Structure 1
Amino acid sequence: MRIFYSSRFLRSFKKLPKNIQDLFRVKESVFHRNPFDSQLKTHKLKGSDEWAFLITYKIRAIFILKGDIIILVNIGDHSIYRKK
């Protein structure tokens, strides 16, 4: 499985507090091993081809899954669902 990061994801990630960035890195290692690990609470977003997994209760990462390729497209709070 190959993982890519969109420019939007990278911009949003840089704006997060350092403690959230560090927590993302921990969750990212779990995600690399198994994107559907139960501790990530991965779920499909309604009406789209996007998925999300939780970093914290409020912060989540959105990704697209295409075969063996994953593209992380955004990270942030619930407001990222409205940004297309």
Structure 2
Amino acid sequence: MIEIAFSPAFERNFRRRFKGRTYLQARLWQRVEIFLENPFDSRLRTHKLTGSLKELWSFSVEYDIRVVFYFVTDEKVVFVDIGTHDEVY
């Protein structure tokens, strides 16, 4: 099972962008449960980023909500950012 750490930027952006949006908060934790079992589950649409973000990966929470992360090891990841496509890229 994957271990997840949250960067301070992720925590700050989560609070700011999702405050009062309980549906999206619940949806995020549903997706995190899937991620913990298999970070490459097709429902997450996990993909490697390119350009200046080439060391990072992303998965989808909703149509336009993404979580950006990187692998520390095969068993540990750090969530870096969360938000809409335009906010995180």
TM above 0.5 = yes
Query: 2:59 aligned with 1:80, yes or no?
Result: no
Say yes or no: does 1:26 pair with 2:26: no
Q: After superposition, give the CA deviation of every residue in 1:38-78 in whole Å (9 maximum; x if it has no partner).
A: 00000000131100000011101000012222000000001
Aligned to 1:55: 61
User: Partners in 1 of 2:48 and 2:13 — Cα distance?
Assistant: 21
1:42 aligned residue: 46
Which runs of 5 or more structure 2 residues have no equivalent in the other structure? none
Q: Which runs of 5+ in 1 are unaligned?
A: none
Whole-Å separation in 2 of the counterparts to 1:71 and 1:61: 10
Question: How many aligned residue pairs are there?
Answer: 81
Task: After the TM superposition, list the runs of 4 or more consecutive aligned residues in structure 1 that deviate by more than 4 angstroms.
Answer: none
- How big is the alpha-carbon RMSD for the aligned residues of Structure 1 and Structure 2? 1.0
